Chains A and B, each alone.
Chain A
């Protein structure tokens, strides 16, 4: 497992498995590196919304494109909690935090749409209190390619939206191989919390395509098991 920095990353200390407790925003490149180093490992990255969509936004764009065989679970509470409650790129309009006392008036990022457009091969949204979440995570891990699940996970300290999310979300029923349908779903909720909000939950899209390491045979197997015995005399030859 690889975690960033934020409330989500406390998981690193709760789960007794191998992993890296990395830097804020850098979960995706670290996870990618672990997978390149040993493609036999199952790699799961955990990030928050600030971690993944703000500090780590450039990596987020490219992770979808690379389609490394890994799973990324984004714990989205729509705010920075470990730093005591500031706005993130997916905070709801009007959010009053310590850095936005007059309210947050920016437009939210569309992470799921962004992932879909850039080639993520498994894209889903779920809710922390949804009992079906664990099954969805298992599906994501089993999927060969970059799997993204945005997990809406209200912060009960700084902005408890549990009741709102429970009452405004619904399970999607559509063809999950249809990219256009998935894109449409990704635009249904712009992270606002008003009366008309409908939050689609479930698997948006799944596609089978080549993963990053498929095109690089030199990355086969755990790299630490390789025994390199370069014939230096022969290599030097071309320089004479």
Chain B
């Protein structure tokens, strides 16, 4: 496996994120695998941002901080980064080219991309075709800029390794995959209030709403968002909301209303670094216990943590499916690193479940909260029958009750629903095991990429990915951990929250933890070195 890393750095607003996409798309169309990590601050212009792009002839899921090539759009970038080959205003007549072309400063990034293609001895028409699709009507001036950068670069050149594949790949961000999953699940309504890093899903779905006949709307705050979502879902709509930690906190009272009213609800939660505003455009996995426990009272829920866009797509459909079938709260737990990084996939996976609405033709005397053996009360919508949804404890018809036996009856019904759900989840691959070895790395969510890229370099280690955090696949996790000689948790948090959940659910205590809480995601090097350091 050959990997080449390109870092593109500069001020916010200077087009580095776009350049990274143009470069990546030019290469994935020729059979390369690309992973693109975005590092940006909480401001719109200025500051220092960079994209770290890993290019490989084999699947690659992570980035690196040691670059082979650096495009430094400004002075700060030269100070913050280094690489074997550097493209900057110092060694390329960028300003002159822009001036001669009479082009806006925005095309500076394309001059640099031209130079990079020259250094890699890649044909310029790969870049041109990517620019055609990415820049639309602005493609021509960018192509001219790229051609001039290509000509102007004359220093050392090194041919890139061949891609070894004729097949075209998909280039998808986590956010796009969650959005695609929602479309595949037959979404009717997406409601959100903007909050990084959940906003890209709102943007993606807003752009797609007309074409696929659903609505994406923004309301006054997250409390309105989640309450409106419950209202719409009660009326029969396939509804999803999206937010990050702060907005999720505002929603938590209504999550509890979901629990007792049993109105289906899908929540997309993209974590960022907290507490409070924290480090808002950076990543963390510190809201897991919050997602598993948010809302007062006791009620069942599904908390699903995909580790890459393929899983994000498939699990989103599962989240919708479970929410409708069980009248359930389904939380899709992502983070900035998964949602805002771009991954190369051969294709998106097939759906694991059928995205049915689970709306039954109600019989005469329909009861919204019918006591059933499996705890699931058949779903109907207003207009078909008298349908009640309530925040009070209730009888089968949804009338308020306060007496002890009726209270216990309904609590028990919801508990039975949880048991039914637990059974079904065992069939949905709630855990995944990569490799077969005596020692185990346990992790969940976006750390998957760095761990998978590290794993081939770590003899004697296997990787257990926990995909369902609630209901917790206790037996399956316990079976693996009981036969593992060394076990270490890898998590983007300062406490290692999954160890607590595993202890609570299985009784197995994991004491070795590799934690990262500098607001940055893991890289394979961190895993390889870190595991060695912790396990002496």
Residue numbers of A with Cβ under 8 A of B are: 2, 5, 12-13, 16-23, 26, 28-38, 40-41, 58-59, 61-62, 216, 218-219, 222-226, 228, 230, 232, 235-236, 239-240
Contact = CB atoms under 8 A, between A and B. Distances in A.
Contacts of B233: 33, 37
A62 B193 CA distance: 14
Interface string B375-392: 000000111011111111
A195 B217 CA distance: 48
B209 A31 contact: no
B394 to A, nearest CB: 8
25 contacts: A5-B391, A18-B382, A20-B230, A20-B231, A21-B392, A22-B230, A23-B253, A29-B223, A32-B231, A35-B231, A37-B231, A38-B236, A58-B221, A62-B219, A216-B215, A216-B217, A218-B210, A218-B214, A224-B235, A225-B236, A228-B212, A228-B214, A232-B184, A240-B28, A240-B171
A20 to B, nearest CB: 4
B399 interface: yes
B215 A218 contact: yes
A40 B382 CA distance: 10
Interface string B79-95: 00000000000000000
B227 A23 contact: yes
Contacts of B385: 18
Contact of B220 (A22, A31, A59): A59
Given A13-B399, A235-B183, A36 B231 contact: yes
Contact of A38 (B29, B168, B382): B382
Given A223-B236, A239-B176, A41 B382 contact: yes
B224 interface: yes
A130 B390 CA distance: 31
Contacts of A224: 188, 235-237, 357, 359, 381
Given A23-B391, A38-B382, 4 more contacts: A21-B398, A23-B253, A58-B223, A224-B237
Most B CB within 10 A of own CB, among A17, A34, A226, A239: A239
A30 B231 contact: yes
Interface string B350-373: 000000010100000000000000
A230 B231 contact: no
Contacts, number: 182
B169 interface: yes
A161 B144 CA distance: 80
Interface residues of B, number: 65
B231 A33 contact: yes
A29 B215 contact: no
8 A-B pairs closest in CB distance = A33-B231, A224-B236, A37-B235, A33-B228, A37-B232, A18-B382, A228-B186, A29-B227
Contact of A30 (B169, B220, B228): B228
A19 B388 contact: yes
Given A23-B257, A230-B212, A33 B171 contact: no
B236 A230 contact: no
Contacts of A62: 219-220, 224
B227 A36 contact: no
A222 B224 CA distance: 21
Contacts of A12: 390, 400
B103 to A, nearest CB: 27
A62 B381 CA distance: 27
A16 B239 CA distance: 26
B223 A26 contact: yes
B213 A37 contact: no
A23 B250 CA distance: 13
B170 interface: yes
B180 interface: yes
Contact of B224 (A29, A35, A232, A240): A29
B388 A23 contact: no
Given A13-B400, A37-B237, A58-B221, A20 B389 contact: yes
Contact of B348 (A17, A33, A40, A236): A236
Contact of A20 (B191, B239, B261, B386): B261
Contacts of A61: 220
Contact of B228 (A23, A32, A240): A32
B289 interface: no
A33 B234 contact: yes
B229 A33 contact: yes
Contact of B188 (A16, A223, A232, A240): A223
A21 B390 contact: yes
B6 to A, nearest CB: 21
Contact of B170 (A21, A228, A236): A236
A34 B232 contact: yes
B406 interface: no
Nearest to B188: A223
A34 B381 CA distance: 11
Interface in B320-376: 347-348, 357, 359
B189 A36 contact: yes
Contacts of A40: 383
B238 interface: yes
A36 B237 contact: yes
A6 to B, nearest CB: 12
A238 to B, nearest CB: 8
A240 to B, nearest CB: 5
B172 interface: yes
B420 interface: no
B485 to A, nearest CB: 42
A239 B170 CA distance: 5
Contacts of B189: 36-37, 219, 223
A223 B238 CA distance: 8
Contacts of B168: 240
B163 interface: no
B254 interface: yes
A40 to B, nearest CB: 7
B215 A26 contact: no
A239 B390 CA distance: 43
Contacts of A32: 219, 224, 228, 231
A226 B209 CA distance: 14
A202 B263 CA distance: 38
